[in-house]
Chain A
Amino acid sequence: MSYTKWTRQQMAQRIADDIPDGAVVNIGIGMPEMVANCLPPEKEILLHSENGILGMGPRPEPGQEDGDLINAGKQPVTLLQGGCFFDHSTSFSMMRGGHIDIAILGAFQVAENGDIANWSTGKPDAIPAVGGAMDLAVGAKRVFVMMEHLTKNGQSKIVSQCSYPLTGLGCVTRVYTDLAVLDVTPQGFSVVEMVEGLSLEELERLSGVTLHA
């Protein structure tokens, strides 16, 4: 049977659907940024940005950008009514201290024990940069990962053990890929959902790790 991978837009929408009304969410740089555009207006979801915003709003209209109002990716944003600003110490108290309900991170690899690698490929010529990823990994109540299931070379990013440098240990709750939604459980990965037409056996073969139904 053939199957079609979910698009990034579909992945982002799938994540947005899982975010409950009233949640405080930190959205990481890169692919997860798309989730912000998929949040349903009927839910009041508070976006946190590590550089000191709670209640972050969308990108401003052209010409309305203000260099003092940016997100973690240094892109111009707006502030919603009721939103506020604070310093970095307060912001990371929110992150490290377990006050953020959900962090949505990109990743190079996620292991079946919930380890995540997303800050460095470990290559000698790479310039390392970690930012707030390690704080979110250890501090958010739930850590969602959004990533492609396979690398460009077809290697699984779902692994039994991360080979790239770790960001956090045993912290990932759920993984959203372009092939499946997987929960991290004490027994390993558990399949919540797969793209239509994909069998558990085929997903397991592609992933190279044991998957539980």
Chain B
Amino acid sequence: MIDKIYSDALASLQDVQDGATILIGGFGGAGMPHTLIDALIAQGARDLTVVSNNAGNGTTGLAALLAAGRVRKIVCSFPRQADSFVFDELYRSKKIELELVPQGNLVERIRAGGAGIGAFFTPTGYGTALAEGKETREIDGRNYVLEYPIRGDFALIKAEQSDRWGNLTYRMTARNFGPIMASAAKTTVAQVAEVLPLGALNPENVVTPGIFVDRVVKIEGQDGAGR
């Protein structure tokens, strides 16, 4: 029998190793898996590389993981925000390494990682500082930059509904990176608001097929943004 449901978040992250690469879903607060991040902080893994669109907001979620000193390097597109003071301080005091990636390249690199693509040529960033040192090619009169895949040891994402096979639906703009990151990690853990019996999810509405999901944790009550 296939049952991917974990009773608690900490149990779902027990095998995260020091030095692991963690893909963390979310765009700002929408889709950020706060419960899983809190569990990762409690679990204690250090020296992490985190791949996420932003570098944390306020003092909760990803910002709390950064503040706990667990992250060596962050790969993201938009670290600087009105409430990114935790990251700002770490960056200015050189306590964290930043790899800045244009947002479309970030998601496409993760998609490539999940889709078995070796590398891809993108027009985004050509001729800019973010493409310095990278291989380029002219194809049909247009210039492209070669970008390589990103894969994670773990992906932590937030979804709306699941079943015990790990099929997922999402809620509004909380979907963002979730379906892509789910495909690109050795172990994908999804926190969900609701677990339904097998067969209760309309198969036409499944956004992430369970093949990309290894563990599901049902959370209780409010978790960060949204519901």
A residues adjacent to B (C-beta < 8 A): 49-53, 66-70, 74, 79, 85-89, 92, 95-96, 120, 125, 127-135, 138-139, 165-169
Contact = CB atoms under 8 A, between A and B. Distances in A.
Interface in B22-46: 27-31
A52 B176 contact: yes
Interface in B165-211: 170-180, 207
B81 A92 contact: no
B184 to A, nearest CB: 11
A87 B103 contact: no
Contacts of B175: 52, 85-87
Interface of B: 27-31, 53, 57, 77-81, 84, 87-88, 91-92, 98, 100-105, 107-108, 111, 122-130, 170-180, 207, 224-227
A127 B88 contact: yes
Given A92-B107, A128-B100, A166-B127, 16 more contacts: A68-B172, A68-B173, A70-B29, A74-B57, A79-B172, A85-B173, A85-B175, A87-B177, A92-B104, A96-B104, A96-B123, A120-B129, A129-B79, A130-B130, A138-B124, A139-B124
Contact of B28 (A74, A85, A128): A74
A66 B126 contact: no
A181 to B, nearest CB: 26
Given A85-B175, A87-B177, A88-B177, A129 B100 contact: yes
Contact of A68 (B107, B125, B225): B225
Contact of A87 (B92, B100, B178): B178
Given A68-B173, A85-B173, A96-B122, A130 B78 contact: yes
A128 B100 CA distance: 8
Given A87-B180, A135-B102, A169 B126 contact: yes
Nearest to B207: A87
Given A89-B108, A92-B103, A127-B91, A139 B173 contact: no
Contacts of B103: 50, 88, 92, 130-132, 135
A53 B81 CA distance: 21
Nearest to B100: A128
A129 B78 contact: yes
Nearest to A29: B78
Nearest to B103: A132
B95 to A, nearest CB: 14
B104 A95 contact: yes
B128 A166 contact: yes
Contact of B226 (A66, A134, A169): A66
Contact of B172 (A66, A127, A166, A168): A66
Contact of A165 (B77, B81, B123, B128): B128
Contacts of A85: 170, 172-173, 175
A132 B104 contact: yes
Contacts of A69: 30, 172-173, 226
B107 A168 contact: no
A32 B15 CA distance: 46
B127 A92 contact: no
Nearest to B179: A87
A129 B98 CA distance: 10
Contact of B173 (A51, A125, A138, A168): A51
Contact of B108 (A53, A68, A92, A132): A92
